[in-house]
């Protein structure tokens, strides 16, 4: 295909070129072992920290890379193409740092973001609860004023990085009478007394990007409140607008890896003296994969451009675009990976080929950061409005 990333500045292209090499040499070779061992991707995140990826979503003022939203889309896709688990842990970190960037005070930004940008401090984003997943406004975690600070109590579940993070941005109800306007956010440092993370969940895929249940019964100082009281829900929704585009990026990276693997296999596999890729039915399968990928790519790039415009003050919320990007990319990636496995035949069902792992890694993409059904509710709501 022609240059799919023509909108990137020259320095952003160079950033992505270097990242591609680093991922190929230092991250992709570890992907299969990471999956088999279910080992958290500490070493891979350290590599990304040195490459500037841990702060790729942050401006240079806070020691971030300062790249544009389209470049971030490309960069996350590169990481995901090398290792889905690494990309999942990385983007969970972005949810935490975006929360501070969007909702925090200047002192909080200075305290946490530079260290997060280098990878010195890993973040987690704690919104989901056992009874409040698709409807976070119904959360049960409470924060009440106590002495010179806050007492935070509740349970969060499926929190990526939660048990290994250096800080967790926790969302809690501070005024039950105000609905979503009574939700606030707090910065919870690692080793805070009363914070208990259970063992990592045993997941189907993304086995190196661990998720945890967090039981919280903590006293926090006054300055743990992220920004203003009652602004937490608004911050979370803005963060998720960003995060859904990053899920789309993960889907593009994994789908691209699946498609590349399928094409390489079809060229190499010979049946009856003829390459698999010479058969018309196989060519149609490859064409369908390319079409699905291309459609998802263009929708995701449009969302990234809208995100960039909003950050530059030239546009408003981009919730519709981000929901469309997440839905389109996750659904398309699932179809691409499934077709790629089908093309591999029985070999695709074995762990000897990466396509089996890619299919497992991709399955969660239609669930987390808002399921496909939730994205359809967001999209239709925006259209009807």
1 lies in some domain: no
| Residue 365 included in any domain | yes
- Residue 180, Cβ neighbours under 10 Å: how many? 17
356 is catalytic: no
Give me the torsion for CA of 312, 313, 319, 323, rounded to 10°: -20
Confidence of residue 138 (pLDDT cuts 50, 70, 90): confident
| Residue 223 shares a structural domain with residue 249 | no
pLDDT of residue 178: 94
Percent of the chain scoring above 70 in pLDDT: 99
DSSP state, residue 177? G
pLDDT tens string 161-185 = 999 999 999 999 999 999 999 999 9
What pLDDT, in 10s, does the model give residues 189-200?
999 999 999 899
pLDDT at 7: 92
Do 188 and 115 lie in one domain? The reply is no
Residue 163 sits in the same domain as residue 264: no
Out of 71, 104, 121, pick the residue that ends a domain. 121
Both structure tokens of 341: 């496995």
**Tokens standing for residue 187:** 């910065």
> What is the mean predicted confidence (pLDDT) over 118-142?
92
Taken as a whole, the chain contains a residue count of: 385
CATH number at residue 112: 1.10.540.10
In a domain? residue 377: yes
pLDDT at residue 370, rounded to an integer: 92
**In this structure, are 243 and 377 located in the same domain?**
yes
Residues 6+ apart with CB under 8 A from 238: 98, 102, 317
Please check the confidence at residue 1 and state whether its pLDDT lies above 90.
no
CATH of the domain at 148: 2.40.110.10
**What one-character DSSP code corresponds to residue 359?**
H
Task: Specify if 182 maps to a domain.
Answer: yes
Catalytic residue among 129, 246, 356, 369: 369
- Do residue 243 and residue 373 come from a single domain? yes
pLDDT at 198: 87
Contact 371, 134 (CB under 8 A): yes
Q: What's the number of domains the chain is made of?
A: 3
Q: How far apart, in whole angstroms, are the C-alpha atoms of residue 297 and residue 93?
A: 23
- The answer on 210 and 141 residing in a single domain is yes
5 inside domain: no
Q: Which of 229, 255, 272 is the last residue of a domain?
A: 229
Judge whether 2 lies within some domain.
no
Cβ atoms 109, 184 nearer than 8 A: no
| pLDDT tops 60 at residue 83 | yes
Q: Is residue 244 part of a domain?
A: yes
Give the span between the Cα atoms of 314 and 310, in whole angstroms: 6
- What value does the mean pLDDT take over residues 315-321? 91
- 4 assigned to some structural domain: no
CATH number for the domain that contains residue 313: 1.20.140.10
Check whether residue 237 and residue 380 sit in a common domain. Answer: yes
- Do 207 and 242 sit in the same domain of this protein? no
217: containing domain: 124-229
Are both 199 and 274 inside the same structural domain?
no
Model confidence pLDDT, tens digit, residues 244-298:
999 999 999 999 999 999 999 999 999 999 999 999 999 999 999 999 999 999 9
In 10 A of CB 382, how many CB atoms? 14
Q: Is 6 exposed, middle or buried (CB count within 10 Å of its CB: 0-12, 13-18, 19+)?
A: exposed
* 222 and 256 belong to one structural domain: no
At which of 121, 137, 167 does a domain end? 121
338: nearest Cα among 285, 300, 274: 285
β-pair partners for 173 = 142, 183
Question: Residue 220: which of 157, 170, 274, 173 has the closest Cα?
Answer: 170
Which pLDDT score is estimated for 2? Answer: 52
The answer on 273 and 223 residing in a single domain is no
The model's pTM: 0.96
For residues 195 and 190, what is the distance between their CA atoms, to the nearest angstrom? Answer: 8
Over the chain, what is the mean pLDDT?
96
The pLDDT of residue 374 is 96
* 129, β-bridge pairs: 132
Q: What is the pLDDT of residues 56-77, one digit of tens each?
A: 999 999 999 999 999 999 999 9
Measure the N-to-C terminal CA separation of the chain; round to a whole number of Å.
37
225 with 248, same domain? no
């Amino acid at each position: 295909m022609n240059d799919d990333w023509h909108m990137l500045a020259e320095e952003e292209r160079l950033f992505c070129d270097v990242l591609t090499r680093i991922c190929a040499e230092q991250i992709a070779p570890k992907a299969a072992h990471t999956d088999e061992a279910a080992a958290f991707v500490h070493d891979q995140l350290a590599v990304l920290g040195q490459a500037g990826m841990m702060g790729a979503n942050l401006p240079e003022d806070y020691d971030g890379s300062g790249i544009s939203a389209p470049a971030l889309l490309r960069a996350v896709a590169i990481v995901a193409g090398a290792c889905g688990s690494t990309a999942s842990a990385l983007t969970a970190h972005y949810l935490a740092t975006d929360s501070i960037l969007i909702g925090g005070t200047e002192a909080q930004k200075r305290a946490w973001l530079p260290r997060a940008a280098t990878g010195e401090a890993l973040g987690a984003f704690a919104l989901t609860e056992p009874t409040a997943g698709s409807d976070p406004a119904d959360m049960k975690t409470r924060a009440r004023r106590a002495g010179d600070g806050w007492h935070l109590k509740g349970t969060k579940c499926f929190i990526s990085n939660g048990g290994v993070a250096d800080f967790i941005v926790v969302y809690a109800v501070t005024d039950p009478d105000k609905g979503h306007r009574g939700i606030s956010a707090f910065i919870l440092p690692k080793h805070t007394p009363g914070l208990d993370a259970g063992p990592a969940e045993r997941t189907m895929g993304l086995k190196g990007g661990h998720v945890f249940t967090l039981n919280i019964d903590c006293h926090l100082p006054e300055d743990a409140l992220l920004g203003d009281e009652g602004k937490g829900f608004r911050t979370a929704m803005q963060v998720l607008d960003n995060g859904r585009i990053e899920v789309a990026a993960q889907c593009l990276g994994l789908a691209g890896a699946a498609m590349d693997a399928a094409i390489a296999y079809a060229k190499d596999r010979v049946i009856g003296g003829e390459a698999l890729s010479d058969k018309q039915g196989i060519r149609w399968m490859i064409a369908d994969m390319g079409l699905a990928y291309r459609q998802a790519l263009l929708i995701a790039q449009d969302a990234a451009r809208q995100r960039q415009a909003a950050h530059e003050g030239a546009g408003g919320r981009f919730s519709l675009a981000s929901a469309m990007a997440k839905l389109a990319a996750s659904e398309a990636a699932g179809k691409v990976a499934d077709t790629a496995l089908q093309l591999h035949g029985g070999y695709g069902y074995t762990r000897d080929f990466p396509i089996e792992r890619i299919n497992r890694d991709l399955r969660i993409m239609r669930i987390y950061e808002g399921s496909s059904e939730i994205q359809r509710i967001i999209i239709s709501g925006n259209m009807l409005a």
